[in-house]
Amino acid sequence: MIAVKVAAWQAPLLPAGSMQALHLIQVRSVALRCHFPMLLFLGEPNYVPSPQVIPRTRMRYDAYALLISAISWVLVPLFLAGLTGIVRKRQ
């Protein structure tokens, strides 16, 4: 899974030691939410992909997340259909 850079618009009020662990969980949940957009319950709604440009590319993080989400809407159902046997190769 490719991590998505996250911009925090609202930081929770927690002790300083637990902020790093909480931030890692929230970053991962945003990445999962971008890769599997049909899982709407994952992630904090205040955390979104950053509008900054990805290094060595011309694409922004939020544009990349949108592209991955659009591709996931097609590939994830096809993958699940292939696993369950709904979609089979003609013989």
Overall domain count for the chain: 1
User: Count of CB atoms within 10 A of residue 65's CB?
Assistant: 23
Residue-range definition of the domain harbouring residue 57: 6-84
What is the model's pTM?
0.62
Tell which residue, 18, 45, 13, 9, has the closest CA to residue 30.
Answer: 45
Considering the chain, what is the average pLDDT of its residues? 74
- Find the mean pLDDT for residues 60-66: 90
Residue 51 lies in a domain: yes
Q: At residue 87, what is the residue type?
A: V
Residue 31 lies in a domain: yes
Residue 46 lies in a domain: yes
The answer to whether residues 76 and 36 touch, using CB atoms and an 8 Å cutoff, is yes
pLDDT at 11 over 80: no
Residue 76 to residues 44, 57, 73, 86, Cα–Cα distance (Å): 22, 26, 6, 14
The answer to whether residues 87 and 44 touch, using CB atoms and an 8 Å cutoff, is no
